[in-house]
Chain A
Amino acid sequence: MANAVTQSILVVGGGMSGLAAAIEAAEAGHEVYLVEKNPYLGGRVAQLHQYFPKLCPPYCGLELNFRRIKNNPKVRVLTMAEVEAITGREGDFDVTIKMNPRYVNEKCTACNKCAEATTMEIDNPFNYGMDKMKAAYLPHDMAFPMRYVLDPALVASPEAQKVKDACPYGAIDLTMEPKTLTLKVGAITWATGWKPYDAAKLDTLGFKTCQNVVTNVMMERLSAWSGPTQGKIVRPSDGKAPETIAFVQCAGSRDQNHLPFCSSICCLASMKQATYVREQYPDAKIYIFYIDIRAMDRLETFYQKVKEDPNIRFFKGKVAKIEEDPATKNLILRVEDTAAGALHQITVDMAVLATGMQPNSSEDTLPGSIPIDEYGFVATLQAQPGIYAAGCTRTPVAVSESVQDGTAAALKAIQSIARR
């Protein structure tokens, strides 16, 4: 029997796949460290308004998963933490973890006194910068762990001491420094997920130049009550309700110049978002411009249902260019209708780019020489002996497959430590 320390499992990434990888292993009795870069768990799905096809809130399942963590002392959660180095081998890894300062310790009760004492405002990353928030903040309403964060700019400002003094519980520590921590673990699951493809790189689609072009991830925040508009889907230029909205599929995906692969979820995400619009604006007209609608397995029935809506028009064609009418801020879309071979000009109030999934592993420097494929995915379940990949770091998938994959990775990790 190996020593108890190396019987632990490290899971990197606290999104859907990482949560599954950590919790499933812990509920089978194993010690797990769950390391997350953000100050909260939940990953990308925490920012979603609803899941397809049931149109239910992600927090329903997340709350249950957090409860599983709360009830299970075998999971140790490290937020604002990143893996810097991995050495050793299967069954006996040494992992160096960098802990970024939160400037708030475990005494925080989430009473909000620090935020009340703060005047400084920063862009709200949870809402993709669409609004501002206090520089002493809870990342979002249902954040887990429920603990505030101080922005480094606030800590460096003259206001810092006032904010610290406002905390009745001594929870603010302005002297926190980044620190490193070394863990001994027997197996590692890599589940660092994805980020939205940078829409600014799609230079013909007007993301930076036209105010009323947003991305699909922004659309989720615009639809959520906890988002920047209290859930009202409105045009960024003038706050008006859109009467026509275009969803531009494969914005970057299936494109050799951007993401040559298919991001798998965007068709369903756009159809889901079309239902958000229809619920708020019964008369709104919606276009979905697509190459193929990829509604796999029973998700097909969601497609069939959305297709029945007379106000939603599926338009097979590629949006070649989006321009802004300077007077109205309306958007003029030039669309190649691949079906009829014609070129159309369509004017809409607002456009949503279905930007694809870029694996974080394509840009991060991966420790321990974890291999990636040509697109930056850690594509194989067993990346290396003792190191396993799960979820969108392997291949673009939705929630269900992320959980499936995370659960599989949990077993592989257990096998790695059981073998010793």
Chain B
Amino acid sequence: MEKKLAVYICTGCGIGDALDIDQLSNLATSDLSVPICRTHANLCSQEGAQLIRDDMANEGVNSLVIAACSPRVMYDVFNFDGVIMERVNLREQVVWCQPPKEEDTQMMAEDYMRMGVTKATKMDLPEPYKPEEELSRDILVVGGGLTGLTASLEAVKAGFSVVLVEKQAELGGFQKKVAKKVTFPYKDIQDNDIDQLIQSVQQNDKIKVYTGAKVEKLVGGPCVFNLTVAQNGSTFEHRIGAVVQAAGWEPYDPAKLDAKLGYGASPNVITNVQFEEMSLAGSITRPSDQQAVKNVAFLQCAGQRDPNYLPYCSATCCFTALKQAIQIKQQNPGSNVFVFFKEMRTPGQGEDFYRKAQEEGVIFVRSQDPEVLVRGSKIEVQAFDELLGDTVLLGDLDLVVLATGMVPRTAFGEDCRAKEKKEGEPEVEVPQDAILASDILNLQYRQGPELPGLQFGFPDSHFICFPYESRRTGIYPAGPVRRPMGVANSIDDATGAVMKAIQCIELTSRGLAVHPRAGDASYPEFFMQRCTQCKRCTEECPFGAINEDEKGNPLPQPTRCRRCGVCMGACPERIISFKNYSVAMIGDTIKSINVPEEYDEKPRILVLACENDAYPALDMVGLRRMTYNAWVRVLPVRCLGSMNLVWVADTLSKGIDGVLLLGCQHGENYQCHFIKGSELANIRLSKVKETLDRLVLESDRVRFETVAITDYDKLPALLDEYAEKLNEIGPNPYKGY
């Protein structure tokens, strides 16, 4: 497609008052040789948009540079199909944050014009990725417990077919071992209806059920997964669109508990899980002799909320203990049932269930550190009762039930990071994902066979805002494997995870990206002739989207890609490009900045800003009409992880005095939407600093700053201080070369 470029300058919202618009137009048409440049007093009006449409229709304009407000606003007005468009942010990031009619303000606007035109010139329209293979719309559900069964049925109700793989010989998971359940409306214990759910799944001809089976391997990516199921020595193949991983949990091993909880010292000290087994078998009796139980104690948080055991709270055990206590009271109203708890956790309407237990006569003892004393056949619990302010000793107990917690199935197996480094592999200081070989998905991915864990083995990635997201595209963890949860939440979670799976199939089948760049049609292309097999792209991709062949060549799997550009930033050979985002395009954009001579005393600062957080924060500076240093030139990037070090070289060799990266918080509480993009950028920058020091080019010229989207109050001072620092260092010696 031959490009015909046009520039449209809006003079509204103070732009026309602050800038010399003629000079700006002249720059576009003369220096930058843009054939059409028009100005309008209110470009976002219907009339303004029509002006653009007319040029598209009559003049054959197909590439637009709109120099007006931030791309974050008026997106619905400046929305034209099938054209290349670049928005130059003259409003928020020039005239609203710089003094009007000043030379420096004009120079800033002109640089942004140069940068915008360069970008639009170098950009191509993305064409969605369409694999040649047939695309599958089927959903794989791994795990046939409450979550997996619910997910399967919910997917079918939405018109999709399901392959359900369950490890055990029968469906039902943990709920199959449970006699009664607790859920909304939390007024009383309820009958367990898991059998009906199992039956519905088994009778549904849209669900192919494999029990006593496992996922032997999963190859490919969304819509092009090849699944191999192993069952009874045979294997079965399916094509899969997306995956709900509902592998569930295992009870914490009671043998690991502190001895003072008495587990193993008497058969009458059991776990909450063993209680369920007994309950399902019939009535609750004393395990040692099957006699009726009269005195029962429940000990909450057994091996939980304790860094030496499970550091977290399993969220369901309070409800379980209340349920089991009520069961005993209902079986024998004359029984004495005590619950020793640290904190009773029955949120929401669940508080009613706590009240129900109190009404049933269950006695609650608040105690931080109860001890089980087993003396022959006698069991006692000794505890400091916080309400009485005294130590109590409960003797003659028939049964002690320990509330052990939930461990996600993903928390088992050998750590893949521990595997020995192959000889000759380069040292890459990339933060490694915690992936345990838990034998659930057996992904044939270069980066490991399972979902990476975030904390305590739970395989999510942004558990506050985007709870279903994992670090593997198209694979959505649900149920207790994602977070400890009970019945109501698991059903909810299964339903939501199916939503994500369906969405992934819909977007992928149209060649579009999923979260967080949902709908993006661009994808990275590799110019393989120049690849040196350095493996950086495969190592650094936060989503494990790139496999490699036996020679170490990258094998990108575009349907696994989230389009963050981390691979593009990682590649030292610069062979990875998107149609509308590439190393060369950004490099040329940087080089288009006009750098005045040293004696002009007009330093220049390139700011590479994360477009999700730092860039909006810069907009807010403008909205608040705060001002910052006029030497700054902001260039938004998809993620700081897409920063290629050559850009730093481009910047400094051009004579620009400093490079500032504004990115998201990284580390334990990372905020980066692409997980480790900002962290990788920081690592790369520290390397370039070493090089700069060697070249006796002050390493302080490059800097990384963590900026949150709401840090706009701090940005002006941050930019001014950095400019001051560069002033102290003095001009870039490459200026003028």
A401 CB contact (under 8 Å) in B159, B489, B499: B489
**Interface contact A142-B389, CB-CB below 8 Å:** no
> Which of the segments B285-293, B306-314, B581-589, B650-658 contacts the partner chain?
B306-314
Interface residues on A, range: 35 or more
**Interface contact B496-A294, CB-CB below 8 Å:** no
Max count, chain A CB within 10 A of own CB: residue among B344, B351, B489, B713 = B351
Known: A28-B499, A63-B709. 4 other contacts (CB 8 A): A111-B13, A261-B351, A404-B493, A410-B499
Interface residues on B, range: 35 or more
| With A168-B42, A225-B713, A399-B465: A381-B492 Cβ-Cβ less than 8 Å | yes
**Interface contact A261-B348, CB-CB below 8 Å:** yes
Contact with A along B697-723 (1 / 0, CB 8 A): 000000000001110110000000000
Is the C-beta of A293 less than 8 angstroms from some C-beta in chain B? yes
Is the C-beta of B613 less than 8 angstroms from some C-beta in chain A? yes
Is the C-beta of A257 less than 8 angstroms from some C-beta in chain B? no
| With A70-B75, A298-B458: A64-B612 Cβ-Cβ less than 8 Å | yes
Is the C-beta of B498 less than 8 angstroms from some C-beta in chain A? yes
**Interface contact A296-B315, CB-CB below 8 Å:** yes
> Which of the segments B127-135, B374-382, B616-624, B726-734 contacts the partner chain?
B616-624
**26 examples of A-B residue contacts, CB within 8 angstroms:** A24-B499, A60-B709, A68-B519, A71-B518, A109-B74, A225-B710, A226-B710, A230-B713, A261-B349, A262-B347, A262-B350, A294-B343, A299-B313, A338-B386, A379-B184, A397-B348, A399-B464, A399-B465, A404-B489, A404-B496, A407-B468, A408-B496, A410-B499, A411-B495, A418-B158, A418-B159
Contact with A along B307-330 (1 / 0, CB 8 A): 100011111000000000000000
A359 to B44, CA, bound (A): 40
Q: Which residues of B contact A (CB under 8 A)?
A: 12-14, 42, 44-45, 69, 72-76, 79, 154, 157-159, 184-185, 305, 307, 311-315, 343-352, 386-387, 389, 455-456, 458, 462-468, 483-485, 489, 491-493, 495-500, 502-503, 506-507, 514, 516, 518-519, 612-613, 616, 620, 623-624, 664-665, 669, 671, 673, 708-710, 712-713
Chain B residues with CB below 8 A from A404, complex form: 467-468, 489, 492-493, 496
Max count, chain A CB within 10 A of own CB: residue among B79, B307, B315, B664 = B315
| With A61-B466, A64-B516, A411-B495: A109-B12 Cβ-Cβ less than 8 Å | yes
Is the C-beta of A309 less than 8 angstroms from some C-beta in chain B? no
Chain A residues with CB below 8 A from B498, complex form: 411
**Interface contact B313-A296, CB-CB below 8 Å:** yes
> Which of the segments A49-57, A127-135, A178-186, A319-327 contacts the partner chain?
A49-57
**Interface contact A111-B14, CB-CB below 8 Å:** yes
Q: What is the CB-to-nearest-CB distance from B317 to chain A, in angstroms, rounded to a whole number?
A: 11
Chain A residues with CB below 8 A from B616, complex form: 59, 63, 142
A263 to B351, CA, bound (A): 10
A61 to B710, CA, bound (A): 12
| With A146-B73, A411-B499: A300-B349 Cβ-Cβ less than 8 Å | no
**Interface contact A338-B12, CB-CB below 8 Å:** no
Q: Which residue of B lies closest to A399 (CB)?
A: B464
**Interface contact B671-A56, CB-CB below 8 Å:** yes
9 closest residue pairs by CB, A with B: A61-B465, A407-B496, A408-B495, A264-B347, A411-B499, A408-B496, A57-B710, A28-B503, A395-B348
Is the C-beta of A72 less than 8 angstroms from some C-beta in chain B? yes
Chain A residues with CB below 8 A from B159, complex form: 418
**Interface contact A296-B347, CB-CB below 8 Å:** yes
Is the C-beta of A4 less than 8 angstroms from some C-beta in chain B? no
**Interface contact A55-B465, CB-CB below 8 Å:** no
A294 to B518, CA, bound (A): 35
Contact with B along A244-279 (1 / 0, CB 8 A): 000000000010000011111000000000000000
Chain B residues with CB below 8 A from A254, complex form: 351
Q: What is the CB-to-nearest-CB distance from B39 to chain A, in angstroms, rounded to a whole number?
A: 15
Chain A residues with CB below 8 A from B500, complex form: 24, 407
**Interface contact A60-B671, CB-CB below 8 Å:** yes
Q: Which residue of B lies closest to A406 (CB)?
A: B496
B12 CB contact (under 8 Å) in A111, A260, A373, A419: A111
Chain A residues with CB below 8 A from B507, complex form: 27-28
Q: Which residue of A lies closest to B505 (CB)?
A: A28
Which residues of chain A in 362-415 are interfacial with respect to chain B, using CB atoms and an 8 Å cutoff?
Answer: 373, 375, 377, 379-381, 395-397, 399-401, 403-408, 410-412, 414-415
Chain B residues with CB below 8 A from A142, complex form: 616, 620, 709-710
A119 to B319, CA, bound (A): 57
A297 CB contact (under 8 Å) in B73, B483, B495, B506: B483
A408 to B495, CA, bound (A): 5
Chain A residues with CB below 8 A from B69, complex form: 109
A107 to B73, CA, bound (A): 12
Q: What is the CB-to-nearest-CB distance from B370 to chain A, in angstroms, rounded to a whole number?
A: 16
| With A142-B616, A339-B386: A403-B305 Cβ-Cβ less than 8 Å | no
**Interface contact B313-A300, CB-CB below 8 Å:** yes
B349 CB contact (under 8 Å) in A107, A373, A405, A418: A373
Chain B residues with CB below 8 A from A55, complex form: 669
**Interface contact B493-A408, CB-CB below 8 Å:** yes
| With A295-B313, A399-B464, A410-B499: A64-B708 Cβ-Cβ less than 8 Å | no
**Interface contact A403-B499, CB-CB below 8 Å:** no
| With A64-B612, A294-B345: A107-B623 Cβ-Cβ less than 8 Å | no
Max count, chain B CB within 10 A of own CB: residue among A56, A73, A301, A379 = A56
Q: Which residue of B lies closest to A294 (CB)?
A: B345
Chain A residues with CB below 8 A from B386, complex form: 316, 338-339
Is the C-beta of A310 less than 8 angstroms from some C-beta in chain B? no
A60 to B12, CA, bound (A): 29
Chain A residues with CB below 8 A from B349, complex form: 261, 373, 375, 377, 379, 395
Is the C-beta of A239 less than 8 angstroms from some C-beta in chain B? no
**Interface contact B710-A224, CB-CB below 8 Å:** yes
A401 to B514, CA, bound (A): 21
Is the C-beta of A328 less than 8 angstroms from some C-beta in chain B? no
| With A59-B710, A408-B495: A71-B467 Cβ-Cβ less than 8 Å | no
**Interface contact A405-B492, CB-CB below 8 Å:** yes
Q: What is the CB-to-nearest-CB distance from A20 to chain B, in angstroms, rounded to a whole number?
A: 8
Which residues of chain A in 14-34 are interfacial with respect to chain B, using CB atoms and an 8 Å cutoff?
Answer: 24-25, 27-29
A65 to B462, CA, bound (A): 14
A32 to B733, CA, bound (A): 57
A68 to B72, CA, bound (A): 11
**Interface contact B347-A400, CB-CB below 8 Å:** no
A415 to B150, CA, bound (A): 14
Q: Which residue of A lies closest to B347 (CB)?
A: A264
Q: What is the CB-to-nearest-CB distance from A14 to chain B, in angstroms, rounded to a whole number?
A: 16
Is the C-beta of A110 less than 8 angstroms from some C-beta in chain B? yes
Chain A residues with CB below 8 A from B519, complex form: 27, 68, 71-72
Chain A residues with CB below 8 A from B345, complex form: 292, 294, 296
Q: What is the CB-to-nearest-CB distance from B241 to chain A, in angstroms, rounded to a whole number?
A: 12
**Interface contact A60-B313, CB-CB below 8 Å:** no
B620 CB contact (under 8 Å) in A64, A141, A297, A339: A141
B154 CB contact (under 8 Å) in A68, A109, A415: A415
A414 CB contact (under 8 Å) in B158, B483, B489: B158
Chain A residues with CB below 8 A from B456, complex form: 298
Q: Which residue of A lies closest to B467 (CB)?
A: A400
Q: Which residue of B lies closest to A24 (CB)?
A: B499
Chain A residues with CB below 8 A from B314, complex form: 297
Is the C-beta of A341 less than 8 angstroms from some C-beta in chain B? yes
